Copies of this chain bind each other. A is one copy, B any other.
Amino acid sequence: MTLTRYLPILDWGRRYDREAFASDAVAALIVTIMLIPQSLAYAMLAGLPPEAGIYASIAPILLYAVFGTSRALAVGPVAVVSLLTAAAVGQVAEAGTAGYAVAALTLAFLSGAFLLALGLFRLGFIANFLSHPVIAGFITASGILIAASQLKHILGIPASGDTLFEMAYELGRGLDRVNLPTLVIGVTATAFLFWVRRGLKPLLRRAGLGPKAADYATKAGPVAAVVATTLAVWALGLDSAGVGIVGTVPQGLPPLTLPGFSPDLISQLLLPAILISVIGFVESISVAQTLAAKRRQRIDPDQELIGLGAANLGAAFTGGYPVTGGFARSVVNYDAGAATPAAGAFTAAGLMVAALALTPLVHYLPNATLAATIIVAVTSLVDFSILSRTWTYARADFLAVAATILLTLALGVEAGVSAGVLLSIALHLYKTSKPHVAEVGRIAGTEHFRNILRHEVETDPSVVFLRPDESLYFVNARFLEDMVLARIADAPALRHVVLVCSAVNDVDFSALESLEALNARLREAGIGLHLAEVKGPVMDRLQGSHLPGDLNGRVFLTQNAAWSCLVEGGAVNEGRGGWRIARAS
């Protein structure tokens, strides 16, 4: 049982049949064709030699097939993680150097180890600290940064930079050295790929092609662009005219490589690795769950961590760099009918063939074309609607999105996403620090109590029912105390304060002391302090404190019991005696 949990392959592998094989094989073929240019492109984005992209797609896919739980997830280099890699590794080594490649391996190793640890200790929930708005803002900003980072290949000028400003500045400086043939190739390829995306499919459908066929043809767009521009460069010898090309890519299977283990390097890359792991995990899990839902399959997030961890460790020892489950490739894999993780294994096989035999063919492939494929791919990441959606729903979430986008563009990916996470936590704490406290009254003739500001209700000058709409803990403990004292200050007729605790999910030690202080103050002022609708878990805890004994009032099971006792003066067999009942709330 446990073994099957940690090795899902034992589960689906046992029931593997010819039918599954057929659909897996087809899917693998389609994904492989799509992955070849994509892998080269993302490696370029990460500042690594092209083959690194292909290597990063082989061992990781195989390992994920063994440990992963998703049937359709395709693991490998993805745009955002490639950008994060470039940002992190760029801080410790010069692009193009051997140290750069080793740093990338180390990053993959650290991130793999971290993911594995999270999975084994079942700590997947920490990914929840990335709120949806922060992720959305980060992905959008990353898309912009990625597209911007590729302009230099389209223009054929050298440029670098981790932030939008740096990139713009460097590009501006180089504008006088734009390489015309490169520009022509880049712009043409970009235009062509956008057209393939928007215009080709409807055209083919009108030409009578089936929807699936049309779809595949569209997916093949990048390959066509690659072939055409490669031939053009080769035929016209444009490389000698200054067009940047992929150049010689070593033929052969992924090499065995060793990440660097110098404490210095590790300490520099640890935080970026953690960041990459969490972001990669979030992207991967959301893709996996979306696809699993369509087929009524379930994803085990903690096992996913193990699968991704193994994949990254695989990348670290086979000349790759950090990987995760990619959206585009997974969707293609799914649409192409991948039935089991075996599809991934076959894709790996296909890429091995490519690595062995096809690399000479991409020698004349211009970087501008790869840049075009990246730019077109990432435009789907950019979605500013999150700004308007959060603005209309909740200002705090809008603030988190806006800050994440701006800071990511202005300061780079790591600063941006970190700031976003911290800000969203701070905003949440701030919200809870000044909770909404409703004063409630009874709807005449019912047992329902509602906010006096929102509803026609009965009230009594000698009793006030206050319903704090928040758990009571150290951040807001003093707030309630001050608020109640202020409320009684301008109500001389007041004799009883009833705290309606239906929305109080926790009372921590600070809040307990604050309640005891409030209780003492109210006693001095000759005013009773009562509790109503206390939740079971909260009451269990309060039982262990002095408050119940010291309380200058009673604990009522319901607001209505408090009302009939305090307002209508009716006898209620509750209060002290009511603990047992109250505990059942």
Contact = CB atoms under 8 A, between A and B. Distances in A.
Contacts of A583: 454
B503 A503 contact: yes
Contact of A129 (B448, B474, B504): B474
Interface stretch (A112-120, A202-210, A322-330, A393-401): A393-401
6 contacts: A125-B434, A392-B544, A397-B509, A428-B474, A432-B471, A436-B537
Contact of A448 (B131, B428, B558): B558
A585 interface: yes
B508 A428 contact: yes
Interface string A462-492: 0000000111011111110000000001000
Contacts of A524: 293
A584 B455 CA distance: 6
The residue in A447, A450, A506, A521 that gathers the most chain B C-beta atoms within 10 A of its C-beta is A506
Interface in A419-478: 424-425, 428-429, 431-436, 438, 447-448, 450-451, 454-455, 469-471, 473-478
A153 to B, nearest CB: 36
A513 interface: yes
| SS of A interface (majority) | helix
Q: Quickly give the copy total for this chain.
A: 2
Given A393-B541, A469-B537, A475-B129, A450 B585 contact: yes
A285 to B, nearest CB: 9
A425 B508 CA distance: 12
Interface string A535-553: 1110001001100000000
Contacts of A240: none
B450 A393 contact: no
B474 A132 contact: yes
A558 to B, nearest CB: 7
Contacts of A268: none
Contacts of A433: 125, 128
A505 interface: yes
A510 interface: yes
Given A537-B469, A584-B450, A508 B394 contact: yes
A485 to B, nearest CB: 8
Given A130-B474, A131-B509, A428-B474, 9 more contacts: A125-B434, A128-B477, A132-B509, A132-B510, A293-B521, A394-B508, A394-B509, A438-B536, A503-B504
A168 interface: no
A503 B474 CA distance: 19
A541 B431 CA distance: 15
A244 interface: no
Contact of A502 (B473, B479, B503): B503
A133 interface: yes
B132 A393 contact: no
Going nearest first, the 5 A-B pairs with the smallest beta carbon separation are A131-B474, A397-B509, A132-B510, A455-B584, A469-B505
B451 A584 contact: yes
A433 B130 CA distance: 12
Interface in A504-525: 504-506, 508-510, 512-514, 521, 524
Given A503-B503, A541-B393, A128 B474 contact: yes
